[in-house]
Amino acid sequence: MADGSKSRDDGHIHLAFGQDFLTIPIASIMPLKSLPDGARESRSYSQVLSSIKAIGLIEAPVVLADPKKEGTWFLLDGHLRLEALKELGITEVECLLATDDDTYTYNKRVNRIPPIQEHRMIVRAMERGVSANDIADALNLQVESVLRRFKLLEGISPEAAEMLKDTPCSMKVFDILRQMSAVRQIEAADLMIGQNNFSIMFARAIRAATPDNQLVAAKKGKGAAVPTPSGQQMARMERELAALQTQVESVEETYGVDNLHLTVARGYIAKLLANSRVVRWLATHQQDYLGEFQKIAEIDTLGPIAEAPDV
């Protein structure tokens, strides 16, 4: 869904922000993987399609030049967007250029848009004069929901927002974080990322364990204090934390050996993908394997057990 670009009647996508992009014919772009079955019928694809119609392309596709065939480009990121552009009859698109070294560094998140990225998309669109009503129609949302997404990061520490920008934290999780001080928000974000748990219940457990001096005082007219969780809620939080601890302990038993094996395997695959000849061959003959190899090479959190990896 994308980056400050806007569709026009001449069939081009025109970038609205002053970065160095290259306009490329869509017919010259070769996807490195096939979309999964049902992708074109998914809600995500429908959102991409309708949002491009209404507010333009917000995030440019990422491509890599084929050194053996001038005028041909490998698509590293933006497969859903490319399909939507084709369906809309758009013949050219502004793309971000990657180098050989960047081949495996892009995430292929085709199934969902992280809430913070969606927030930034809406902010950019509204800054360009697109109304909340038009955005709501494009994204199939209520206007109130669009406005809430627009205000998603109000009261959120910039550092915590940066940490959580690619995570599936819901709006309710941000409501809970807003009850904490900036420093505690950062600590909470680190805890959620470390446990790979972005659920509302886990956020409530963190808030319940937060000292009073790290909580934000309630605004006047909205109650004297943040509601204290009930006994039943606390019991549920404790069960979830106990389950997490059990999972961590079971992983610790084999973590060292497994981590070594995974690190060696990832390093070998990353080295293969750093070779542009290997990437070109895989792109031509084994696109599915290339996509899976890229996902493995992208994993960069095999270090401490608290940094569990995150489509």
pLDDT value, residue 228: 59
Q: Kindly provide the b/e burial profile for residues 58-86, where b requires at least 16 CB atoms within 10 angstroms of the residue's own CB.
A: bbbbbbbbbeeeeeebbbbbbbbbbbbbe
CA 286 to CA 289: how far, in whole Å? 5
Question: What distance in Å separates the CA atoms of residue 259 and residue 266, rounded to the nearest whole number?
Answer: 10
The dihedrals phi and psi of 6, each to the nearest 5 degrees, come to: -140, 130
Angstrom distance (rounded) from CA 246 to CA 11? 56
The DSSP element (H or E) to which 3 belongs, if any, is none
* pLDDT score of 113: 63
Do the strands 22-25 and 92-98 form a parallel or antiparallel pair, or are they unpaired? antiparallel
Does this model's pTM top 0.85? My answer is no
Predicted confidence at residue 176, as pLDDT, reads 94
pLDDT number for residue 85: 93
Residue 221's region, left for phi above 0, alpha for psi from -120 to 50, else beta, is: left
CB atoms within 10 A of CB 185: 28
Q: Which tens digit of pLDDT belongs to each residue from 185-210?
A: 999 999 999 888 898 988 998 998 88
Long-range CB pairs of 183-186, under 8 A, 24+ apart, other chains included: 183/157, 183/214, 184/210, 184/214, 184/215, 185/156, 185/157, 185/159, 185/160, 186/157, 186/159, 186/160
Print pLDDT tens along the chain (311 aa): 434 344 344 444 333 333 356 889 999 999 988 888 888 888 888 878 877 877 777 677 888 888 888 899 999 888 889 999 999 999 998 887 876 544 444 444 333 567 887 788 788 778 878 888 877 776 667 889 889 999 999 999 999 999 998 788 889 999 999 999 999 999 999 999 988 889 898 899 899 888 889 998 754 444 445 555 666 766 777 777 777 777 777 766 676 777 777 788 888 888 888 888 888 888 888 888 888 888 888 776 554 433 333 33
Please name the residue ranges forming H helices in the chain: 43-55, 79-87, 115-127, 132-139, 143-150, 158-163, 171-177, 182-195, 200-208, 231-273, 276-285, 287-298
